[in-house]
Amino acid sequence: MAREMIEEEDNSWQAAANCLGVDPDLFFPERGASTKEAKAVCQGCEVRADCLEYALANGEKFGIWGGLSERERRRIRRQRAIARAAESARTATA
CA 21, 28, 47 angle in degrees (round to 5)?
A: 50
Asked whether residue 31 carries a pLDDT value surpassing 80, the answer given is yes
Surface-to-core class of residue 51, CB atoms within 10 Å of its CB (0-12 exposed, 13-18 middle, 19+ buried): buried
Q: What is the pTM of this model?
A: 0.82
| Average pLDDT taken over every residue of the chain | 90
pLDDT given for residue 92 in this prediction:
82
43 — phi, psi (to 5°)? -60, 130
Q: What is the pLDDT of residues 54-70, one digit of tens each?
A: 999 999 999 999 999 99
Asked whether residue 5 carries a pLDDT value surpassing 60, the answer given is no
Query: Angle of helix 70-93 relative to helix 48-58, nearest 10 degrees?
Result: 70
Q: 1 falls in which pLDDT band (50, 70, 90)?
A: very low
pLDDT given for residue 94 in this prediction:
67
The better pLDDT of the pair 6, 50 is held by 50
